[in-house]
């Protein structure tokens, strides 16, 4: 999973983006990883030049939260 994969092209309002961010941070912290520095390091897109994050699992976790908050993208199978 990379940030330029098709699932990341979904358009959101700022309100929806904020809701997704809050839920993502909540699920991240629920695993006991509450350091902001750890979170930002895991999400960093600058470590690899291929568009992947420092912790590739975080991209999948983010998409899972987005689907939970917003539902599936229009035209996608549920």
pLDDT in tens, the chain (78 residues): 788 888 888 899 999 999 999 999 888 888 876 677 888 877 777 766 666 777 778 888 989 999 999 998 876 655
What is the pLDDT, as a whole number, of residue 29? Answer: 86
- Asked whether residue 50 is domain-assigned, the answer is yes
Confirm whether 76 is domain-assigned.
no
The number of domains in the chain is: 1
Alpha-carbon torsion (77, 66, 26, 43), positive or negative = positive
Q: What is the pLDDT of residues 59-68, one digit of tens each?
A: 889 899 999 9
CA 15 to each of CA 1, 20, 28: distance values in angstroms, whole numbers, following the listed order: 25, 9, 20
Residue 53 domain flag:
yes
Q: Which tokens sit at 52? A: 């992947």
d(CA 54, CA 5): 16
Query: What pLDDT shows up at residue 17?
Result: 94
What tokens appear for 6 in the block? 């098709």
């Amino acid at each position: 999973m990379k940030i330029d994969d098709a699932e990341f092209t979904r358009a959101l309002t700022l309100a929806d983006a904020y809701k997704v961010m809050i839920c993502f941070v909540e699920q991240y912290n629920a695993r006991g990883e509450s350091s902001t520095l750890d979170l930002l390091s895991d999400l960093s897109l600058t470590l690899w030049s291929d568009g992947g994050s420092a912790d590739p699992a975080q991209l999948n976790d983010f998409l899972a939260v987005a689907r939970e908050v917003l539902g599936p993208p229009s035209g996608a199978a549920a």
